[in-house]
Amino acid sequence: MTVTEGVPATGPRGGTATGPGTGTATGPGTGTGTASGRRTGPPVRVAVIGTGAIGQDLVSKIHRSPVLECALVAGRNPESAGLRHAAALGYPTTAGGIDAVVSAPTPFAVVFDATNAMSHAEHWRLLQPLETLLIDLTPSRVGQMVVPTVTGTGAPTARNVSMISCGGQASSPIAHALAQHFDVEYIEVVSTVASSIAGRATRLNLDEYVATTQHAIATFSGVRDTKAILNISPAVPPATFRTAVHAVVPGADERAVRAVVAEAAERVRAFAPGYEVLGCAVDGDRVVVSLEVTAESDVLPAYAGNLDIINSAAVMVAEQHAARLVPAAGTGAYR
């Protein structure tokens, strides 16, 4: 269901939307059921801005949520694969971008921003007057940083929530756990993503990715000396998303380190089942934790764990917010 300027469109589930001039959208988000037909309370209407791979996976995860209802997917290119994917699921779409979201007759409870860091600041400026929770999947460093197993899974206290980066979501739980139990002097995070899944926004935001990830590691660990590196691998077949956490921990005990890392990883798997510790080595005061994330997604290839983990965390935040807005909706997992 592609929306063009001023021309209403109707999808297979009866949703309608108008173009960028008005941003009006009705459909699945205005009914009493969810896309999957499973819920314990009224669904909470959400919108997704961005139609790349991360936006498509977000829509699929929202589609499976018992408490979230995708009421609009907004992009810029009316022929994008992301808009076609959303329309195939029966959701209203528009090529009107942020303007269509802002001008909707009823503000959305949650808006997911899956665009780029440069655009996010403007999106926040436009959405700030509305009672909307903006969940930022760009490395803009504008909002309150959230990592579910570090900051908690309760409803956010800010209306602009930063999911940091894929590397930040993968490494922060380990960095935080190590710093809580040991005297850590240095942390370095090196993430590797497949070139085929690193879209245009990722490549435009490399500097922001590094700065935001490094800031998160320092914030959540309390370690001042930190570094973040992102590798984009052209390997064929594509490399599965991996993150290595290097730390300097004087007097580190290997058995104690392994126990701390295993516990932290188990907590992450509660919302990102593909999160695995490949190795945990201690050599003197040097600790290296090797992580791999496999995507469990309807639309992503298995190697795109970088997108899966950040989207899984984002949907968890939205579901917790929905539970606060509609207590009867509960906090069930979307899987």
Q: Annotate 171-228 with DSSP letters as a single string.
A: HHHHHHHHHHHS---EEEEEEEEEGGG--HHHHHTHHHHHHHHHHHHHHHH--SSEEE
Q: pLDDT > 90: what percent of the chain? A: 79
CA–chain centroid gap for 18, Å, is 27
Cβ of 69: how many Cβ atoms within 10 Å?
26
Average pLDDT score over residue span 90-101: 98
User: pTM score, two decimals?
Assistant: 0.85
Cis peptide bond N-terminal to 148, omega within 30: no
Give the contacts of 41 (CB within 8 A, at least 6 positions apart): 67, 326, 327, 328, 329, 330
Mean per-residue pLDDT, 107-135: 96
Q: What is the pLDDT of residue 109?
A: 96
Q: Does residue 280 carry a catalytic annotation?
A: no
Instruction: Examine the pLDDT at 27 and tell me if it is beyond 50.
Output: no
- Give residue 157's pLDDT band: very low, low, confident or very high (50, 70, 90): confident
Q: In this predicted structure, what is the pLDDT of residue 325? A: 85
Whether pLDDT at 129 is above 60: yes
pLDDT for residue 328 is more than 50: no
Strands 286-293 and 275-283: antiparallel
Question: How high is the pLDDT of residue 40?
Answer: 52
The one-letter amino acid code at 211 reads A
Q: Name the percent of the chain lying above pLDDT 70.
A: 84
The confidence score (pLDDT) of residue 232 equals: 96
> What is the average pLDDT across 251-267?
97
**Above 90 in pLDDT, residue 119?**
yes
Residue 247, pLDDT > 60, answer yes
Q: Which pLDDT does position 10 carry in this prediction?
A: 31
At residue 327, the pLDDT reads: 61
Catalytic residue among 104, 161, 166, 187: 166
First to last CA, the chain: 25
Q: Residues 174-213: pLDDT tens digits?
A: 999 999 999 999 999 999 999 999 887 788 899 999 999 9
Residue 309, pLDDT > 60, answer: yes
**Is the pLDDT reported for residue 37 higher than 60?**
no
